[in-house]
Amino acid sequence: MDFYKRLALVGSQIPCGKVATYGQLALLCGRPRNSRQVGYALNRGLAGDLPAHRIVNSQGILSGSPAFDTPDMQRLLLEKEGVPVKDNRVDLKKYAWDNTMEDALYLKTCFEEQGI
């Protein structure tokens, strides 16, 4: 399994105006305990060109990751998509990507087709 290729595919599915957590992405990649590996991939640019600004921690706190050119870039990109950020945090009850079982099954099929 190529976790980083899976992550790139999963991350590309996060809808505009929504956010996902590190743990949520790890789960959808088939590795529910690898949320730190998601962060590692984002910091190192290992997951391709996914919308990293839509990824937050389990409390909705922005990462401030080196993946962004400036410390406020993640906030600016989220606000541009209509996701308000208050005190460096996103309201997950309103803006979390509520992926479905159909989403998970679709991703599983894509992984199998791509051999990842």
pLDDT digits (tens, 9 = 90+) for 67-107: 788 889 999 999 999 999 999 999 999 999 999 999 999 99
What is the domain-level CATH number for residue 95?
1.10.10.10
- The C-alpha atoms of residue 70 and residue 17 are separated, in whole angstroms, by 21
Given the structure tokens 């400036």, which residue do they identify? 70
- The C-alpha atoms of residue 106 and residue 83 are separated, in whole angstroms, by 26
- The C-alpha atoms of residue 109 and residue 4 are separated, in whole angstroms, by 17
Tell me: the pLDDT tens digits for 20-35?
Answer: 999 999 999 999 999 9
At 58 the pLDDT is 96
Number of domains in the chain: 1
- The C-alpha atoms of residue 35 and residue 86 are separated, in whole angstroms, by 24
Domain of 79 in residue numbering reads as 3-114
